[in-house]
Structure 1
């Protein structure tokens, strides 16, 4: 359930809280249900039921809102373009406009969210119907959050809209269905990408609770904990983020060893938490060990490698004990990562924007340290 609060009083609910028999809206108890019925639910109950019941109705509504936001945000960039899937400027059915939120450049990558969602839905359905391998299923499911042209992940409000599209597609599956949990994950990451951190926290906590309830394998729980620790850090709950990211890093090391992409991601998140708490020496020690691993198994241009190097540069220049050599290394690292990110991800990608902004701060710190300060009153005058 993504609807995790009582419809009448907004109190947190258990997954098995009582619900309306017809439309499945959930409540704390019969008192809240009767109160909500008198305050207008009576008029909405049939409509929600016809819309697929509470969770489906809510997902469809949030999807439409997210698409409208994404189209508006992309309006200037998409003017005069057509969808690369249906070749139309306006979607034939929904009349929605175009979006682009990946690393495509020029006239490539413009599409309707509805077309992207339908493409992802059809591709994955074919893989399930034909009982294709897990590798093929995983590759096809990536269409819910990654561009089929440039193969980079979508970002910002476009990814958020696709997250709601994915969730509304698979919300009707039972809790024990793995794909329902994966769709929850996609939605949570989409909300984070659009900076809806509190909403993402609600989704991710519900996902982790569900995975534990159905006895999901450890690697699935570690993924959910990874995303949750990232959200904790984004909303300033750094101690919780550190504790969870440390546990995830230990778990991934135990499951996969050091030379694995998932361990690299876990180390990246752990280092981020350490920097957030200004434990710079621990962060630098971890990253000096893991950056060469990331470069070796993922490559210099991979987004996780770029993120690790960027975090390392942040730890260098933000440390109040940083030497002149530390600041110079931070600037050099940011210059290199920003250049690669601009080439691989594009200038509008949030990672590129963040690296270039951090580069300016690091350069300012280096200039301040490198400029001799006047030592006497006459020199100051």
Structure 2
């Protein structure tokens, strides 16, 4: 997480409370914890090193980035075995000696790279746009290199996304908080932590991001995005009532701001329906999605990820509802059988959402078969034998 807690007792400090080490800016809740850290926690030996690295926040981000790269390379080792980086063409990175990763929709030998090479690629593109004053359009077009594969254009996932999140944050954290790359880097870090299931850490980052953007009085659309990310983390931590309250407000806000056909509104309908299902309010979830699905099909097309998710969430609500009929279960199976190959083609077979759809399909089939068996009378079972 970013440094919003005391380095000794871990009490929450937000972005402004407590005090800092005068040399390296390590944060504490007060003088007692600072003294303890210096005398017993080893800070006397690390303080100069932390300052030399750019201060506590930079040192922490650098350390977390290195750890995340190691984790990502280890997790991808089997998939990338015997391959080389498509950017530098080497198996081991010439400088860091890190292994290879792949966390996108690429297949075969495509998409395999070092995190460091992906980071350097993103930095070069952004630096070039800023140095040459190419304008906001160019910056917005290039920023996705921090989280999307340049070959398949799909968002990275899992531990690869986490490593890129730390890379992005360590690159821009030294800028003023009014600088938009720094704001986006904090958002990117929150996404990365969530993708790797570090939800408590993601919560700290997203709450800090929201507090910062409120101070900056950003437009309503940006605040809705931040609230959306926070609601995702609430849900991941099992805090579904808090997530639902946010989801209701966000969906309502998107309808008023963008209208029902806007992609952001359609994404928020998915999120709202998911939270309703998690709270077992299946009828409300299905009603919302039945209204949304034809709009998503018309606006986004069959191969859009949001459209895929809309149908998956609907099928999941159909089969998990305790009151599901046999027709409901068969509709769920048919829907999932239709979207599974689409997800595999668009997202790739290794993508977490593709695998989740496959698991949902297996469960829906089992539920449908069990329901069909229950519907057979004893006499019919004897006759079948």
TM-score w.r.t. structure 2 length? 0.95
Provide the secondary structure at the position in 2 that maps to 1:335. helix
Moved more, 78-87 or 1-10: 1-10
**Which ranges of structure 2 fall in alignment gaps of 5 or more residues?**
none
Displacement after TM superposition at 1:261 (Å): 0.8
Q: Give the structure 1 partner of residue 369 of structure 2.
A: 367
Q: Which residue of 2 aligns with 1:32?
A: 33
Tell me how far apart the structure 2 counterparts of residues 137 and 363 of structure 1 sit (CA, whole Å): 46
Q: Corresponding residue for 1:338?
A: 340
In 1, the alpha carbon distance for the partners of 2:185 and 2:298 equals: 31
Using the alignment, how far apart are the partners of 1:313 and 1:374 within structure 2? 24
Aligned ranges 1:59-138 → 2 under 5 Å: 59-138=61-140
Could you tell me how far 1:229 is from its partner in structure 2?
Answer: 0.5
Structure 1 unaligned segments of length 5 or more: list them.
Answer: none
Question: How many angstroms apart in 1 are the aligned matches of 2:86 and 2:347?
Answer: 20
- Shift of the alpha carbon at 1:373? 6.2
Rounded Cα–Cα distance in structure 2 between residues aligned with 1:305 and 1:278: 22
Distance in 1 (alpha carbons) for counterparts of 2:294 and 2:121: 37
Summarize the Cα distance change of 1:275–1:372 in structure 2 as closer, same or farther, 3 Å threshold: closer
Q: Output the CA distance in 1 between the equivalents of 2:375 and 2:334.
A: 24
Structure 1 residue 180: Cα displacement = 1.1
Structure 1 residues 44, 194: closer, same or farther in 2, change over 3 A?
same
Instruction: Show the 5 A alignment for 1:321-360.
Output: 321-360=323-362
- 1:1-381 to structure 2, matched below 5 A, reads 2-17=2-17, 18-39=19-40, 40-372=42-374
* Distance of aligned partners of 1:318 and 1:44 in 2 relative to their CA distance in 1, 3 Å threshold: same
Q: CA deviation at 1:210?
A: 1.1
Distance 2:301 2:286 in 1: 20
- Tell me the secondary structure at the aligned position of residue 223 of structure 2: helix
C-alpha separation in 2, matches of 1:318 and 1:212: 38
* Separation of aligned partners in 2, 1:132 and 1:325: 56
**CA separation in 2, counterparts of 1:120 and 1:376?**
65
* Residue correspondences, number: 379
CA separation of 1:374/1:178 partners in 2, compared to 1, >3 Å: closer, same or farther?
Answer: same
**Bigger shift: residues 200-209 or 353-362:** 200-209
8 Å CA contact 2:14–2:208 kept in 1: the answer is: no
Q: Which moved more, 1:314-323 or 1:60-69?
A: 314-323
Bigger drift between 145-154 and 314-323 goes to 314-323
CA deviations over 1:286-319 (Å, ceiling 9, x no partner): 1111122222222211111111110000111111
Query: Kindly tell me: are residues 131 and 157 of structure 1, through their superposed partners in 2, closer, same or farther at Cα, counting changes over 3 Å?
Result: same
Once the 2 structures are TM-superposed, how far is the Cα of residue 131 of structure 1 from its aligned partner? 2.3
SS at match of 1:14: coil
Counterpart Cα distance in 1 of 2:231 and 2:28: 29
Residues 247-275 of structure 1: CA deviation (Å, up to 9, x unaligned): 11111111111111111111111111101
TM score, norm. by length of structure 1:
0.96
Shift in Å, 1:374: 7.8
SS in 2 for 1:216: coil
2:27 is paired with a residue whose SS is: coil
In 1, the alpha carbon distance for the partners of 2:33 and 2:254 equals: 43
- Note closer, same or farther for the CA distance 1:245–1:190 as it changes in structure 2 (3 Å cut): same
